[in-house]
Amino acid sequence: MRKNIIAGNWKMNKTPQESTQLVEETLQLLAKENIGETIVIFCPPFIALERVAGLVKGKKNIFAAAQNCHWEKSGAYTGEVSAAMIKAAGAAYVIIGHSERRLYFNETNEQLAKKVNAVLAEGLQPIYCCGEPLEVREANKHFELVAQQIKEGLFHLSKDDFSKVVIAYEPVWAIGTGKVASDEQAQEIHAYIRKLITEKYDAATAANTTIQYGGSMKPSNAKGLMSQPDVDGGLIGGAALVAADFVGIIKSA
């Protein structure tokens, strides 16, 4: 059965030194809690990835992730980082297709499909992001857009490869805005995503896929969102930068 996964996406925040501090503080707080089978992931900037992976190495159900990667193995791609490098740094997951990458760096579903392949080829797990901007929700086209993002980015995969994918539904209008999706809005689209997976693969594959919610998740709203039957954890931005808040969310999973 699928697991709840709480991942802290730090975005472009924290120096290497500050990263060590935040992870150590978070681990100290976590040590006092019983978090059961919940998986916890830290997603620092590339420059701190190896040190963060080192800090969580060997800890049960705690991992490091990169926030992006290139689809090629190596070569003349100035400024880029490959999945093989991420693996060598000790990470286990890679966020692919965050809405900020789609919006500010023009990443397309076609490119994201190649990135997903590169991540899987290294034995890492992609956290594939989907979600609609406000105008798309207002036009009631969010199901259509999310279906397109999932189909074009993921549905070329074999059932075996797809079983390693984590999906994060992040409505763009809820990211960093303080406007969280209601429990019902989250449940509705998560159930829809699971239905798409059933139709493409099968019910067992769908039941085993972790689908996280992301967008202004905080300790105060985490429990309501994650108690929805199809919401399996969270991809956390701002609140992951404060150890007590991140742990508060993890405890709600």
Contact pick of 116, 124, 236, 247 for ligand 13P (by CB under 6 A): 236
Q: Please say whether the beta carbons of 43 and 7 come within 8 A.
A: yes
| CA distances in angstroms from 130 to 54, 63, 112, 171, 181, listed in the order given | 29, 22, 11, 8, 14
Closest approach of Cβ 206 to ligand 13P, in Å?
Answer: 23
Name the segment binding ligand 13P (CB under 6 A); options: 44-52, 116-124, 158-166, 234-242: 234-242
- State the burial class of residue 29 (Cβ atoms within 10 Å of its Cβ: 0-12, 13-18, 19+): middle
- CA torsion sign for 217, 219, 224, 227 is positive
| CA distances in angstroms from 85 to 46, 69, 71, 101, 244, listed in the order given | 10, 9, 12, 20, 31
By CB under 6 A, residue 253 contacts ligand 13P: no
By CB under 6 A, residue 249 contacts ligand 13P: no
Closest approach of Cβ 135 to ligand 13P, in Å?
Answer: 18
By CB under 6 A, residue 175 contacts ligand 13P: yes
Distance CA 68, CA 22 (A): 21
By CB under 6 A, residue 226 contacts ligand 13P: no
Contact pick of 132, 170, 230, 245 for ligand 13P (by CB under 6 A): 170
Q: Which two tokens stand for residue 154?
A: 């993921």
Distance CA 22, CA 18 (A): 6
Residue facing ligand 13P at closest CB distance: 237
By CB under 6 A, residue 237 contacts ligand 13P: yes
Contact pick of 214, 225, 247, 252 for ligand 13P (by CB under 6 A): 214
Of 50, 100, 122, 170, the active-site residue reads 170
170 has catalytic annotation: yes
By CB under 6 A, residue 215 contacts ligand 13P: yes
144 has catalytic annotation: no
The binding site for ligand 13P (CB under 6 A) comprises 9, 98, 170, 175-176, 214-217, 235-239
